[in-house]
Amino acid sequence: MDLRAQVSLELLLEQQQFLRDESMLVQVRIINRSGQTLRLGQDPDWLTFIVEQRDGHPVLRLGEVPVQGPFEVESATVADRKFDLMPYFDLSIPGRYRLSAFMKIKDWGVTVASEPREFDIVRGAKVWEEEFGVPAPGGLPEVRKYILQRAMHIRQLRLYARVTDPTEQRCFRVVSLGPLTSFSRFEAQIDKASNLHVLFQTGARAFAYTVLDPDGTVLMRQTYLYGASRPRLQLDPQAKIVVAGGIRQPSPDDFPPSLPAVPPAENPSTNAALTNLVTPQPPPPAPQLMNPTNPPPTQPRKAKTARPPRLQD
């Protein structure tokens, strides 16, 4: 039987270019047209990933991707699963790679293969770094390092934050902070809780402000506009790092979210709703039309007083 016409396996990448150690999320899409329900995920090897270099040599596997977890895919339906592959393959060398997946259908005794997907691993240019301590209960603090890197992503310069050990041999996380203008002057400061605050320019008048914790988790993401003065980082009276100057601009990329989620059915123009912060005013009432079959009542005319006849001489 033509298995591909009944069950297909697709790989979807959120992007085709990654910085070394950046999370590489791959979405596995299973399409079932077989007329039967698929039972998958019972075994740890029901789904296998293979990464190859451009010349076909396999990439060293650092561990098994955790894929186990039973689920069913009914006929005429689609099921999606997401996996982060970066921790399980040695992608330390920049270059072009090819990703493939193989799915075992145990009940049928067959294996379905996906079409390969290519992606690139790129280097980043280090533009700032600083070591910091992470408090450890009952012992010496652990020393880690924050690193800011710039890298070209599809003809666009982006800023990344990397959290490593002091030797940079162990990477805890790489986070993409956002697009970066070529003339941008970024600011980076570490607060008393060892959180990293980064403020940088993303456009002609737009700035991004991001706060990361020592594990590389994003605690805050905000957008500012150039107002009477340029946004900048400074200490407030409580010795907390804050953004001074500029104009706070709520954005759909904010974290925690600053704009209410609007269902698509109630918001036919998504872009307008996300950028227009002015509360719309109700339209003026439409003029009341007269019904020609029932004209408004008219005032009765006053009867004219008859004049007496004029007498002739």
Q: Give me the DSSP letters along 34-78.
A: SSS-EEE-SSTTSEEEEEEETTSPBPPB-S-------EEE-TTEE
Task: Return d(Cα 70, Cα 48) in angstroms, integer.
Answer: 15
**Fold of the domain built from segment(s) 3-121:** Immunoglobulin-like (2.60.40)
Confidence (pLDDT) at 84 = 96
Average pLDDT rounded to a whole number, residues 284-312: 52
Residue 253, Ramachandran bin (φ over 0: left; ψ between -120 and 50: alpha; else beta): alpha
pLDDT at 259 over 80: no
Token pair recorded at residue 247 = 């104009």
Average pLDDT rounded to a whole number, residues 252-268: 69
Angle, alpha carbons 17-58-25 (nearest 5°) = 35
- Contacts for 168 with CB less than 8 Å, ≥ 6 apart: 145, 147
- Three-class SS of 4-46: HHHEEEEEEECCCEEECCCCCEEEEEEEECCCCCEEECCCCCC
Average pLDDT rounded to a whole number, residues 174-181: 93
pLDDT at 136 over 60: yes
Token pair recorded at residue 127 = 């533009």
Give the residue among 110, 294, 297, 142 at the shortest CA–CA distance from 215.
142
3-class SS of residue 138 = coil
Query: Which residue in this structure is represented by tokens 């009341």?
Result: 288
CA distances for 64 relative to 45, 49, 86, 106, angstroms:
9, 9, 11, 19
pTM: 0.74
What stretches of 135-170 adopt beta strand conformation (E)?
A: 142-153, 156-164
Confidence (pLDDT) at 201 = 95
pLDDT at 274 over 50: no
287-297 pLDDT, tens per residue? 454 444 455 55
31-87 pLDDT, tens per residue? 999 999 999 999 999 999 999 999 999 999 999 999 999 999 999 999 999 999 999
Across the beta sheet with 156-164, what order do the strands follow? 125-134, 142-153, 156-164, 171-179
Mean pLDDT over each residue of the chain, to the nearest integer: 85
228-257 pLDDT, tens per residue? 999 999 999 999 999 999 999 999 999 999
Confidence (pLDDT) at 153 = 78
- Contacts for 165 with CB less than 8 Å, ≥ 6 apart: 143, 144, 145
pLDDT at 157 over 50: yes
Q: How confident is the model at residue 279 (pLDDT cuts 50, 70, 90)?
A: very low
Average pLDDT rounded to a whole number, residues 176-203: 93
Confidence (pLDDT) at 135 = 84
Strand partners, 151: 158
| Chain centre distance of CA 296 | 61
Domain positions in the chain: 3-121, 124-261
Confidence (pLDDT) at 87 = 94
State percent of the chain over pLDDT 70: 81
Specify the DSSP element, H or E, that contains 275.
helix 270-275
Task: Return d(Cα 311, Cα 313) in angstroms, integer.
Answer: 7
Task: Return d(Cα 118, Cα 26) in angstroms, integer.
Answer: 12
